[in-house]
Amino acid sequence: MTDLPVTDVKAALKPPRNQWLDVWDQFRTHKGALVGLVIFIAIVAAVVIGPFLWRIDPTYVDPNPVNMLKLRNQGPSLARPFGTDQLGRDMLARMMAGGKVSIAVGLTAMALSLFLGTLIGVLAGFFRRLDGPLMSLTDLFLSLPLLPLLLLMVTLFRDSLSQALGVETGIFLLIVTAIAVTSWMHTARIVRGEVLALKEREFVLAARSIGTPSRRLVLRHVLPNVMSPIMVSATLGIANAIITESALSFLGLGFPPDFPTWGRILFDAVDQMQLYPLRVILPGVAISLVVLSVNYIGDGLRDALDPRIRGR
Amino acid sequence: MLDAASGPGRRKLVEVDGLKMYFPITAGIFRTRVGDVKAVDDVTFDIYEGETLGLVGESGCGKSTCGRAVLRLYTPTAGSVRIDGREIATLDQKDLRGLRPTMQMVFQDPQASLNPRMTVAAIIGEPLSEHTDLTRAEKLARIYELMDAVGLNRNFANRYPHEFSGGQRQRIGIARALALNPKFIVCDEPIAALDVSIQAQVVNLLEELQDRLGLTYLFISHDLSMVRHIADRVAVMYLGRIVELAPRDALYQQPLHPYTQALLSAVPEPDPEVETERRRIILTGDVPSPSNPPMGCNFCTRCPRVMDLCRREKPAFRELAPGHMAACHLYNDTNETVGPATATEASQSIQQGE
C-alpha cells in the first residue's frame, strides 16, 4: 500500500502507541480541563503541604480567656492572613486542615459510590437474572429518606467505630461509607441503561464469538463504553459528597465539633455572617473551586477518553 | 445426502441436523410463555470442507439467526450442530471456548461489530490474547501479518474504527476472524452494508483467502447475484425453513421450489435485451408471522401453484435430483395427476425466471 522503498517502510512503521499518551494529548487541548487541573492540584498541594509550612495548630484555643477574647474574630493581617474565628483559632490553619478532610471525604466517598453504582449497574444490565433483584434494591434505596438514614447510621455506629479505629479514622470511614451507600443509585441506573443497550451491539456478540468470557467482556468492551456517563456521575458525586459531609457536620453528626472540615467552618460562621462575611466566603469559595475544577477535569477526561472526539 | 457435485471423497466439516431456534414470547405480569417465534424451524444441511454454502432468503426469514445458532452464539432449542466432528449444540461454555478458534464470524455491519474504543491492533489482537500465549512482539507481528493478508496498511494499527471507511472496517472484521486460523467462517451478510464497488473488493478478498487458507464459508446474503458469484452450493430459506438446497448452477438454471423461482425472477439482468424479456413472478400477500406459521407448507399462503395438500401437510425436504434437494409437494412421485402438468408448468416459469 505504500510506495516507499523497503527500508523506509520499516522506518515509517510506528509500533502501537500507548493509548494514555493519546488521552493526555487530547486532554491538553481542553483549556477548561487544564485550568481545572491546575486549580485542583494547587488546592490539594496547599492542603497537604501547607500545614508543614504554616505550623499553627488549627484547634488551638488560647487557654487565657483575655487573650482568647482579644484574638477572636480578627480580620486578615500579615500574622493571620485569613483572620481568626469566633474562638481565636487561626483560619488559614483551619482551612488547610479542613480541606484535607473534606477533599479526602469527597474523593473517597465518590470513588466508593461510583464503584458500587457501576458494579450494580453492570451486573443488573449484563446478567438478565440479576436485573430484577438488583433494580428493586436500587429502587428501595432511592425511596429511603436519606438524611434520617444517614443520621441513624452515624448515631448507631459512631461510638463503636471510633473506639475500634480511633476517632478520626473511625468517623472518616463511617461518613465515607454512609455517603457512598446512600448515593450510588443514580450511577447504577444510568450504567444499567447503557449496558442494556451496549450488550446488544454487534461488537459484544463478536467478542462472544471469539470466546471471550463474560468477565473480560465486561471489562474490555462494556466498561470503556459506559465511561462517559460514569465520568459525569463521578464529577457530580464529589460535589455531592462534600456537601453531604458539610450537612452532617452542621447537624453535629459528622466529625467532632473542634475538628475542622470545610462544611464545619462554613456552618460555624453562618451565625455571624453579616459581621464577618469573610469566614463564610472562604470555605464557600474553596468548596465551589474544588467542585468546579473537578467538573472541568471530568469534562476534559471524558472527551479525551473518547477516541471519536479525540484529535478534533 | 451426499452432494454429487462435490464428490463422495470430501469431508463434511459442518453438519446441521434438525436445528430449531425458537425465541419465547412472554406476556402478562408473570411473564408466562405464550408462544414462540420460530426463527429457525427444523433446518438440516451439511457444509463440505473448503466449499462455500450460500444461504439466501428475504429479510426476517431466519438466515442470520441460523448462522448464529450454528456458531452457538444462541443456544439452539433443538437439533444438533457438528463442526469438525464435535457436537457443539449442547456443549457447555467452557468446552465451547476451546472450540472457538476453529469457527469464527464476520458480521454484517462493520461499524457496529468493532468496539469504537479499541484500536485496530487491539481489535485484531483480541482473539490472540484470548486463545494464545504469544508475547507482545509476536502478537504484533501476527497482527501485522493479518493486516497484510486483508490489505490494510500496517500504519493503521493505531487507529480507531471510526477513522476508516466501510470497506476497510469490514477488512478489520475479516482480519479478526482470521486471527486464529479458523476452518469455518460464518459470513453474516458481510457485504450488505457496503456500496457496490467495495462489495466486489470484499468478496474477492474472501475468495482469495479461501483459496489460500482452505477456508469453509457459510455465506449469508440476500444478494442473489453475489451468492451466485461466490457460493458452490446455495440454500434458500423461507420463514425459518430451508426450501431448496442445490449446487449453484443447478439452482440458478433450474430452480424447483416456487419460492426460489420467484426469488430468482427478481434478480435484475445486466443485459438490457434479456432484462426487457425478464418477467417477474410477483408474490402476493405478506410473509406470515414466524410465531404463527401456516399449518402445511410455510409458503402455501403465497405460493402461485398452491394445492390442497400444501395447506394440510408439511412437505418433506428430500433429494429430487442428485444433490438437489427441495421441500415441495409439486414433486411428489405419488401425486400422479399433478406430476406431469406441474413439470411443464415448472419449465415455463423457469423461462420466465430467466
pLDDT band at A235 (very low <50, low <70, confident <90, very high): confident
Residue in chain B lying closest to A220 (CA): B118
Query: Could you tell me if A310 and A22 are in contact, meaning their C-beta atoms sit under 8 angstroms apart?
Result: yes
Give mean pLDDT, residues B87-108.
Answer: 86
Record: contact B117-A208, CB cut-off 8 A? no
Give mean pLDDT, residues A287-291.
Answer: 87
Give mean pLDDT, residues B205-216.
Answer: 89
* Predicted pLDDT of residue A3: 53
pLDDT at residue A57 above 80?
A: no
* Predicted pLDDT of residue B53: 92
* Predicted pLDDT of residue A241: 83
List chain A residues with CB under 8 Å of B113: 202-203, 205-206
pLDDT at residue A255 above 80?
A: no
pLDDT at residue B349 above 70?
A: no
Per-residue pLDDT tens over the stretch B181-198? 888 999 988 888 888 888
* Predicted pLDDT of residue A10: 55
Question: Is ipTM > 0.85 here?
Answer: no
Per-residue pLDDT tens over the stretch B227-239? 888 999 999 999 8
pLDDT at residue A233 above 50?
A: yes
What whole-number distance in Å separates Cα of residue B134 and Cα of residue A143? Answer: 51
Backbone angles phi, psi at B247, to 5 degrees: -55, 150
List chain A residues with CB under 8 Å of B103: 209
Question: What is the distance between the terminal CA atoms of chain B, rounded to a whole angstrom?
Answer: 28
* Predicted pLDDT of residue B117: 85
pLDDT band at B336 (very low <50, low <70, confident <90, very high): very low
Record: contact A211-B113, CB cut-off 8 A? no
Average pLDDT over chain A reads 82
pLDDT band at A12 (very low <50, low <70, confident <90, very high): low
pLDDT band at A17 (very low <50, low <70, confident <90, very high): low
* Predicted pLDDT of residue A16: 61
The radius of gyration of chain B from alpha carbons, rounded to an integer in Å, stands at 22
Give mean pLDDT, residues B275-303.
Answer: 84
Task: Say if B183 is an interface residue toward chain A (CB within 8 Å).
Answer: no
Task: Say if B248 is an interface residue toward chain A (CB within 8 Å).
Answer: no
B168 compared with A55, residue with greater pLDDT: B168
Task: Say if B294 is an interface residue toward chain A (CB within 8 Å).
Answer: no
pLDDT band at A164 (very low <50, low <70, confident <90, very high): confident
pLDDT at residue B89 above 80?
A: yes
Query: Could you tell me if B328 and B243 are in contact, meaning their C-beta atoms sit under 8 angstroms apart?
Result: yes
* Predicted pLDDT of residue B218: 92
Record: contact A307-B104, CB cut-off 8 A? no
List chain B residues with CB under 8 Å of A213: 93, 97
Q: B189: closest CA among B172, B202, B207?
A: B202
List chain B residues with CB under 8 Å of A211: 96-97, 100-101, 127, 130-131
Within 8 A by CB and 6+ apart from B173, the residues are: A206, B106, B107, B110, B113, B114, B190
A–B CB contacts, 8 A cutoff, strictly below: 88
Residue to test with chain B: of A6, A18, A203, A212, most B Cβ within 10 A: A203
Residue in chain B lying closest to A309 (CA): B162
Q: Hunting for cell 451439511 — which residue is that?
A: B46
Give mean pLDDT, residues B325-353.
Answer: 55
Query: Could you tell me if B114 and B172 are in contact, meaning their C-beta atoms sit under 8 angstroms apart?
Result: yes
SS3 state of residue B23: strand
Give mean pLDDT, residues B12-41.
Answer: 86
Residue in chain B lying closest to A12 (CA): B155
pLDDT at residue B350 above 60?
A: no
The percent of residues above 90 in pLDDT, for chain A, comes to 9
- Chain-centroid distance of CA A112 in Å reads 9
The percent of residues above 70 in pLDDT, for chain B, comes to 91
Whats the size of chain B, residue-wise?
354
Residue to test with chain A: of B117, B139, B165, most A Cβ within 10 A: B117
> Which of A202, A224, A305 minimises the CB distance to B107?
A202
Record: contact B160-A16, CB cut-off 8 A? no
* Predicted pLDDT of residue A39: 92
Give mean pLDDT, residues B214-234.
Answer: 89
pLDDT at residue B5 above 50?
A: no
* Predicted pLDDT of residue B334: 53
Record: contact A221-B127, CB cut-off 8 A? no
* Predicted pLDDT of residue B156: 85
Give mean pLDDT, residues A248-274.
Answer: 78
List chain B residues with CB under 8 Å of A215: none
Task: Say if B114 is an interface residue toward chain A (CB within 8 Å).
Answer: yes
Q: B64: closest CA among A105, A76, A225, A205?
A: A205
Cβ-count burial of A303 within 10 angstroms (0-12 exposed, 13-18 middle, 19+ buried)? buried
pLDDT band at B348 (very low <50, low <70, confident <90, very high): very low
Record: contact B116-A206, CB cut-off 8 A? no
Residue in chain B lying closest to A216 (CA): B130
* Predicted pLDDT of residue B9: 59
Record: contact B160-A308, CB cut-off 8 A? yes
Q: B22: closest CA among B91, B74, B89, B80?
A: B74
List chain B residues with CB under 8 Å of A305: 117
What are A71's three cell numbers? 484574638
Interior CA angle at A287 toward A286 and A292, to 5°?
Answer: 100
pLDDT at residue A267 above 60?
A: yes
Query: Could you tell me if B67 and B188 are in contact, meaning their C-beta atoms sit under 8 angstroms apart?
Result: yes
Per-residue pLDDT tens over the stretch B55-68? 998 888 888 899 98
Give mean pLDDT, residues A103-128.
Answer: 89
B55 beta partners: B220, B235
* Predicted pLDDT of residue A42: 92
Count of C-beta atoms within a 10 Å radius of residue A65: 9
Average pLDDT over chain B reads 83
* Predicted pLDDT of residue A179: 86
- In angstroms, the separation between the Cα of residue B307 and the nearest Cα of chain A is 42
> Which of B114, B131, B157 minimises the CB distance to A203?
B114
Interior CA angle at A166 toward A160 and A168, to 5°?
Answer: 110
Query: Could you tell me if B329 and B300 are in contact, meaning their C-beta atoms sit under 8 angstroms apart?
Result: no
pLDDT at residue A9 above 60?
A: no
* Predicted pLDDT of residue A92: 84
* Predicted pLDDT of residue A178: 86
Strand order in the sheet with B32-48: B32-48, B12-27, B78-83, B86-87
The percent of residues above 70 in pLDDT, for chain A, comes to 93
DSSP element (H, E) containing B212: helix B196-213
* Predicted pLDDT of residue A99: 86
Domains annotated on chain A, with CATH: 21-51+102-305 (1.10.3720.10)
* Predicted pLDDT of residue B220: 92
pLDDT at residue A38 above 90?
A: yes
Query: Are β-strands B184-188 and B216-221 bridged in parallel, bridged antiparallel, or unpaired?
Result: parallel
Per-residue pLDDT tens over the stretch A63-94? 777 777 777 777 777 777 777 777 777 788 88
Indicate the pTM of the whole model.
0.78
What whole-number distance in Å separates Cα of residue A123 and Cα of residue A129? Answer: 9
DSSP state, B156?
Answer: G
Highest mean pLDDT among A16-20, A97-101, A273-277: A97-101
Give mean pLDDT, residues A108-133.
Answer: 90
* Predicted pLDDT of residue B338: 40
